[in-house]
Amino acid sequence: MSTVLITGASSGIGLATARVLAEHKYNLIICGRREERLQALQAELAAKVAVDYRVFDVRNRQQVADVLGPVVANRAIDVLINNAGNAHGLAPVHEGDVDDWDAMIDGNVKGLLYVSKAIIPQMVERKAGHIINIGSIAGKEVYPNGNVYCASKHAVDALTNGMRLDLNPYGIKVSQISPGLVETEFSKVRFKGDETRAAGVYANMEALQAQDIAEIALFMLSRPAHVNVSDVIVLPTAQASSTLVNRG
């Protein structure tokens, strides 16, 4: 069976994707910084498929290379799901925290690139592979105070398209999922642990759940060889755009 490497598998969309793919017999390499969560997920899924985990910070270029280098040397990665990422803060650009900007650009953009750099050459060599980048509605639109997060997701959108062009000669599929509001730990991270503020993001509407995104990833991966679902924008029914949400 295929082996899928998922970044950000310790929570939210990445965690749900690991669970759904394990149900469908994909072997997994689950990645993140919180080792105890990865260990627990490995224990949960190990009876179904082969599950390994790797602990690294996608922002740390050397760590990514040191951890993923031996992985790639020893086994074929059929699918890379570039999911790790977060928003940090929500502020007008003139009030933004530079540490938050660094975290978003370094994680969402440079981190995705570091991981891709470790995995893609092997796919090129084998002339096979599938990359799914987790973009966002924030990569298609810009909303007030979302400035740098939106810029980072616009970068993911551009990188997805760039990868598809560059990897076309090698038969590698490149896809993106661009969700609207998904109820995960995302807003808790964005608001630095403020659970009340985080809950407000999903109040009085039915947000997407991580499982909804996982099922789209499974659909993408289970298409025939000649079909590449290149991008899916998926919103809660209550959400019409980044800024228009029907809360009843």
Q: Is 148 in the site for ligand NDP (CB under 6 A)?
A: no
Closer to ligand NDP by CB, 124 or 201: give it. Answer: 201
Distances (CA, A) of 63 to 22, 102, 111: 27, 18, 11
Stretch that binds ligand 8X3, among 70-78, 109-117, 135-143, 162-170 (CB under 6 A): 135-143
Q: Is 137 in the site for ligand 8X3 (CB under 6 A)?
A: yes
Number of residues interacting with ligand 8X3: please give it, by CB under 6 A. Answer: 7
Q: Is 213 in the site for ligand 8X3 (CB under 6 A)?
A: no
CB of 59 to ligand 8X3, least distance (A): 18
Closer to ligand NDP by CB, 10 or 147: give it. Answer: 10
Give catalytic residue positions: 149
Three-point CA angle 198, 202, 206, nearest 5°? 160
Q: Is 116 in the site for ligand NDP (CB under 6 A)?
A: no
Tokens coding 87: 């928003």
The whole-angstrom distance between residue 192's C-alpha and the CA centroid of its chain comes to: 20
CB of 17 to ligand 8X3, least distance (A): 16
Q: Is 108 in the site for ligand 8X3 (CB under 6 A)?
A: no
Number of residues interacting with ligand NDP: please give it, by CB under 6 A. Answer: 30
Tokens coding 125: 């060599």
Distances (CA, A) of 240 to 164, 187, 226, 234: 28, 19, 32, 10
DSSP string, 146-215: -HHHHHHHHHHHHHHHHHHHHHGGGT-EEEEEEES-EESSHHHHHTTT-HHHHHHHTTTS--EEHHHHHH
Residues of this chain that interact with ligand NDP (CB under 6 A) are 7-14, 32-34, 57-59, 83-86, 107, 111, 134, 136, 179, 181-182, 184-186, 189, 210
Residues of this chain that interact with ligand 8X3 (CB under 6 A) are 136-138, 146, 180-181, 242
